[in-house]
Amino acid sequence: MASASVLLVVGLGNPGPGYARNRHNVGFMAVDSIVRRHRFQPFRKRFHGDLSEGVIDGRTVRVLKPMTYMNDSGRAVVAAAGFYKIPPADILVFHDELDLAAGKVRCKSGGGHAGHNGLRSIHAHIGPSYRRVRIGIGHPGDKDRVVGHVLKDFSKADDTWLVPLLDAIADRFPLLAAGDDAAFMSGVALTLNPPKRKSERPAEGSADRKPGETDGL
């Protein structure tokens, strides 16, 4: 479990309205949802980015959206982390993930950047030992189509899973702030796929019954 030290939450994306709905900007979308849900302070310009602050269960949380463009995200992260003296273990980065199906969420600590330009930049500035929340956007199936895929907007049809996912991430964020990544992932999955109530399940033995058929009683 994490200590009560300051948590720096970073959402990755590209600045400007032209990128706002890009798949690559789902990290921005996730932290915006957290800031709204938990009524953090309005974003202000700090550390080459937009910074918001709040408190979750007694823990100070600072939320940063680098405005440096994706491939220079580490410059904003190292500036904020250095000013507040936040070690990599207390930095949590939300980012898009090609290698997860759209709508899936996984947490990890440390490891490689898998070619993600935002993570590559953060690695170069603070090393790999920070926490990540990987938000699946799916893979286009061909490496030559990756750039077009990540820089393409989410469709209106994607909102059927994207909006509930962002809500679930915000709802369950206190678990991340407490350092319980496993409970966060389980909670998000449960929110998006709640167990069916008994009344929603087909009655036993009824699956193959034809209209008008009885149990022979």
Would you please indicate which residues are annotated as catalytic (active-site) residues? Answer: 24
| CA angle (65 as vertex; 16, 51 as ends), nearest 5 | 115
d(CA 131, CA 109): 4
List of residues 6+ apart from 51 with CB closer than 8 A: 43, 44, 45, 62, 63, 64, 65, 80
Q: How far apart are CA 65 and CA 9, in angstroms?
A: 9
Reduced to 3 states (helix: H, G, I; strand: E, B; else coil), residue 25 is: helix
Question: How do the residues of the chain divide into helix, strand and coil, expressed in percent and rounded to 5?
Answer: 40, 20, 40
Helix (H, G, I), strand (E, B) or coil at 216: coil
CA atoms of 104 and 124, how far apart (whole Å): 27
